[in-house]
């Protein structure tokens, strides 16, 4: 089974560069008095003088070879960073590289990621390269997105989004004719026959609103609706950790568990838009199974979301001694408890480690059901609750535990081929994926 971070092109080329450098170094023969005398028939005195000269040359040659090895390896490892136009897109996003419009390849696509409290609007080119918005944050870093407040009144929300998109295109001096379309990611589903939104949980006033039609009128660009989880999954599939894979399932671990599925470039939406609701896979059929936020028992989300982990932690600390217990007070929010578990596990608390590894087991059970259903080439974990993620030893242990549990519970052919890894795009996945799905839709429409 392929677990952990996938090998990138630059890593392979860097290893190749280092190997070539070593080869050049090895072909330089270590001349000595003995072999000089033996090879040329020179006298010992002549051989000694020649040997001294050869040592000087050897030192110079070795130094040059060493410099060659170093420079060649570093060059290959970082060439994509210094020449971003030549870089594979997934590498750019790992580095959060932003492109100036002058470097980008038209047409451009707008991605809109609507959340309960804020809306993120970003722009990508035809290769998925994120475009610098021209704004900077408090730390002076260039922004990949424009952020506006989510407006509960849908008509006003459309006006604000249209104004933000128009302002962004004007600032970057991009003619609207060079913009292929807009992808609109929302945390809900849409009735495809009526094109009305179905009861957005965080935006109830948007229910039954024809948001795509209204936004198309306001901005005069085609607008494609997509579920936010599927949008994030497409972002990872297009230029993230799953770039180059044929299919993907992305599990976003947060307050709940959002899941997006991409197969051969197509988002799995289902008959009425509820495809990919894998946070509600049943992993425990017992009558007393944990209660999910949706009101049913035994769902993956009840055990492995941040809320589920928090509730399990409270229950376990009531029965067992742990350094976690005094850290949880009546004022502690449920969303903060997984962070406490992480820090205590880092400090070596046995119960905290048990909670994390038990979460890995429950996740693996859900992942196995996914693999047995869609045979995904890649399963990614994203969101805020990855226990440190790829940059943390504990996060890697968490990932390895999931990998081992999946291997134990599925067919060898599946476990040997599937890649299980952390997502790479973070909070940018939603808008990048929404823009990517809009691009895919425009291409399909042109073919038809």
CA-to-CA distance for 300 and 368, rounded, in angstroms? 12
Can you point out the beta strands (E) in 187-283? 189-191, 196-198, 223-227, 247-253, 257-263, 266-267
Concatenate the DSSP letters of all residues of 394-407 into one string: HHHHHHHHHHHHHH
Q: Find the DSSP H helices in 195-336.
A: 211-219, 228-239, 300-304, 306-319
CA-to-CA distance for 364 and 14, rounded, in angstroms? 34
Give pLDDT tens digits for 137-171: 888 899 999 999 999 999 999 999 999 999 999 99
Look at residue 194 in the predicted model and tell me its pLDDT: 85
Note whether 395 and 386 are within 8 A (CB): yes
Compute the C-alpha angle 275/279/282, nearest 5°: 100
pLDDT (mean) for 346-355: 97
pTM of the model: 0.78
Q: Find the DSSP H helices in 209-349.
A: 211-219, 228-239, 300-304, 306-319, 337-346
- Residue 407 Cα to chain centre, angstroms: 23
Angle in degrees, 0-180, between the axes of helices 337-346 and 350-374, rounded to the nearest 10: 110
Give pLDDT tens digits for 365-384: 999 999 999 999 999 999 99
Taking alpha carbons only, the member of 146, 140, 143 closest to residue 169 is 146
Give pLDDT tens digits for 187-233: 898 888 888 998 888 899 999 999 999 999 999 999 999 999 999 99
**Burial zone of 15 (CB within 10 Å; 0-12 exposed, 13-18 middle, 19+ buried):** middle
pLDDT at 253 over 50: yes
CA-to-CA distance for 196 and 187, rounded, in angstroms? 14
Band of the pLDDT at 72, cuts 50, 70, 90?
Answer: very low
Q: Is the peptide bond before 142 cis (omega within 30 degrees of 0)?
A: no
pLDDT at 57 over 50: no
CA-to-CA distance for 76 and 325, rounded, in angstroms? 50
Note whether 275 and 269 are within 8 A (CB): yes
Note whether 389 and 395 are within 8 A (CB): yes
Look at residue 1 in the predicted model and tell me its pLDDT: 60
| Overall size of the chain counted in residues | 448
Pairing relation of β-strands 378-383 and 247-253?
parallel
CA-to-CA distance for 398 and 421, rounded, in angstroms? 11
Of 177 and 79, more confident: 177
Share of the chain above pLDDT 70, in %: 78
Give pLDDT tens digits for 395-440: 999 999 999 999 999 999 999 999 999 999 999 999 999 999 999 9
């Amino acid at each position: 089974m392929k677990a952990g971070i996938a090998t990138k092109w630059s890593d392979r080329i860097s290893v190749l560069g280092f190997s070539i450098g070593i080869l050049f170094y090895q072909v330089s023969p270590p001349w000595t008095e003995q072999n000089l005398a033996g090879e040329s028939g020179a006298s010992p005195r002549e051989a000694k003088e020649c040997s001294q000269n050869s040592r000087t040359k050897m030192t110079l040659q070795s130094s040059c070879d060493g410099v060659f090895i170093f420079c060649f390896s570093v060059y290959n490892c970082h060439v994509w960073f210094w020449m971003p136009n030549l870089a594979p897109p997934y590498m750019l996003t790992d580095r959060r590289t932003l492109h100036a419009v002058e470097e980008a390849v038209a047409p451009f696509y707008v991605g809109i990621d609507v959340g309960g409290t804020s809306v993120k609007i970003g722009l990508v080119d035809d290769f998925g390269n994120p475009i610098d918005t021209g704004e900077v944050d408090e730390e002076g870093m260039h922004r990949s997105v424009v952020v506006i407040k989510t407006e509960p009144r849908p008509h006003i929300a459309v006006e604000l989004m249209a104004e933000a998109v128009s302002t962004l295109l004007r600032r970057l001096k991009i003619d609207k004719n060079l913009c292929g379309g807009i992808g609109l990611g929302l945390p809900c589903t849409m009735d495809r026959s009526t094109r009305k939104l179905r009861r957005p949980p965080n935006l109830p006033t948007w229910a039954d609103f024809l948001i795509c039609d209204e936004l198309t009128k306001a901005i005069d660009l085609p607008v494609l609706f997509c579920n936010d989880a599927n949008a994030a999954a497409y972002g990872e599939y297009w230029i993230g950790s799953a770039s180059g894979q044929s299919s993907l399932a992305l599990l976003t671990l947060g307050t709940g568990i959002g899941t997006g599925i991409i197969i051969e470039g197509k988002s799995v939406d289902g008959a009425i838009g509820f495809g990919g609701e894998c946070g509600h896979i049943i992993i425990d059929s017992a009558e007393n199974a944990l209660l999910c936020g949706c009101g049913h028992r035994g769902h993956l989300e009840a055990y492995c979301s941040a809320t589920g982990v928090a509730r399990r932690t409270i229950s376990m600390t009531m029965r067992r001694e742990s350094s976690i217990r005094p850290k949880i007070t009546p004022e502690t929010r449920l969303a903060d408890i997984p962070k406490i578990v992480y820090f205590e596990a880092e400090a070596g608390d046995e119960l905290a480690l048990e909670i994390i590894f038990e979460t890995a087991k429950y996740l693996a059970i859900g992942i196995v059901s996914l693999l047995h259903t869609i045979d995904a080439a890649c399963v990614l974990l994203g969101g805020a609750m990855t226990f440190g993620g790829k940059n943390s030893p504990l996060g890697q242990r968490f990932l390895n535990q999931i990998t081992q549990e999946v291997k134990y519970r599925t067919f060898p052919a599946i476990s040997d081929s599937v890649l299980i890894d952390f997502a790479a795009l973070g909070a940018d996945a939603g808008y990048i994926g929404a823009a990517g799905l809009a691009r895919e839709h425009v291409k399909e429409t042109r073919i038809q």
